[in-house]
Structure formats: structure tokens, C-alpha cells
Amino acid sequence: MSRLLEDKSALVTGAASGIGRATALAFGREGARVAIADIDHDGGEATVAMIREAGGDARFLSADVTREAEVEAAVRAAIDAFGCLDCAVNNAGITGAPGPIQDLAQGDFERVIALNLRGVFLCLKHEIRAMRQQGGGAIVNMASGAGLIATPGLAAYCASKHGVLGLTKTAALENARTGIRVNAICPGATDTPMLARSMAIDPQVEKMVLASLPGGRLGVADEIAEAAVWLCSDRSSFVNGDSMLVDGGAVAR
């Protein structure tokens, strides 16, 4: 059987662990050459090693997505390595410190916005520029169920993910005639190191997460990754500007 991303090249940010790593591995299995961008050198190189051990082609690119020069350099490096940029998954993000709005420090709020929202903006900016020059591509932004509904105690995270959906829809419409598709995935509570850290910090976060699981279980990172593969493949050629829920029915409550 032909693989969904055979001979395509991809850039995945935040791929040193969690959903990003699972996405990079899934892209490799489906035949893509994968550039892994992250600030975590050891984790990123470990993801590269996993892809190569499975017979795929991958490179690690050290990049902080809050810094435009580093994002631009990462996109250029991915193209230099693989000849083009067919797909991108803008996944890098953090949850941030939990707590009510009145207790949230300005610096903590701005750190989440910088990574989760500005980072996606900068990635979109330079990915779209590159894809316009080559005549098309597919981009997936990692949002959240928190981009669609309120998340008490995580105001910065909720605001940033709502913003990601606004960027996604705008970029999709701006590029609808360029051959570039831009979509978002809204994962539900997923078993990742980031979620585990958040639940360990604040028992209220753990309580909220456990109450949001209609099926009685957390999602698995591979389940989110499969949605990203499909959205970047030619199978989803008429899907553009979508906010795809992959959450086990959590937002349908």
C-alpha cells in the first residue's frame, strides 16, 4: 500500500516529546522526510533517532518559535535539507501556570501567548512564504478543545488557543487560491508529559481533566498524530480552515 505522505517533506515544531514527537514519528512512517524543530536538543535528537531507526529520514533543527529569526532559519534549513516544504505542523506550546485570572502574573500570561500564539503566527508567516513560492502545501496548527470552550484556571492557555483558531481561519482564506491549505486540530485531554506536569502542579486541573472525559480515558498522542497525517495528505484536499476536534466527545457534552 502507498503511504499517505510518500516523498513529501515536513516540518514539525515541538517534536521533542508528546504530540509533536508522535506526529513526527507518524509522518516518518507515512513516508515523509521530517525536520524536527525544538529548543530541547536531546529530545529532538531522540525523535530523529527513532525515525531513522524505523528507516525514515529526519533532521533536528534547534529553534525557539518565539524568535522570528530562528523560525525563518528553521524553515530555510528544512528546505535546504529536503528541497521543498510540503507540510508543516505548528505544535510547540505550553500550558502555563494554573490559577484564576486575578492571580495570574503578567509575565506568566505573556510567556504562554508568546509561545502558543506568536510562535504559530511566526511559523505560519514563513511557512506560507515558502509554500507560495513552490505553489502549495498543507499546514496544521495544534490548537485545543480550550480553543473552543472556556478552561477555568488556564486563562492564558485558553486565550492563546482561541487565537490559534483565528489565525488558522484567516490564513486558510487568505491562501485558498494559492494551493495552501491551513487547518487546526483541537485535541482533548491527551496523555502527554505536559498534561502530567499540569495535573501534578494543581489538583484542580486534574479534577477538571478527569471530569471532561466522556469515554473515561485520556487520548493517546498517536491518535492526534493520525489526524495531522490525514490533514497534510492529499486525502483531505478539500478541507481548509477547519478546527478538527480529536477529543473523544469532550466538547460535545
Q: Which residues are catalytic?
A: 157
How would DSSP label each residue in 119-180?
A: HHHHHHHHHHHHHHHHT-EEEEEE--GGGTS--TTBHHHHHHHHHHHHHHHHHHHHTTTTTE
φ, ψ for residue 96, nearest 5 deg: 90, 170
Q: What whole-number distance in Å separates Cα of residue 111 and Cα of residue 148? A: 21
Instruction: Look at residue 19 and give its three-state secondary structure.
Output: helix
Residue 213's closest CA among 116, 156, 145, 143?
145
Q: Hey, CA dihedral for 20, 172, 117, 79, is it positive or negative? A: positive
Q: What is the CB neighbour count within 10 angstroms for residue 12?
A: 35
Nearest residue to 145 via CA among 173, 93, 184, 115: 184
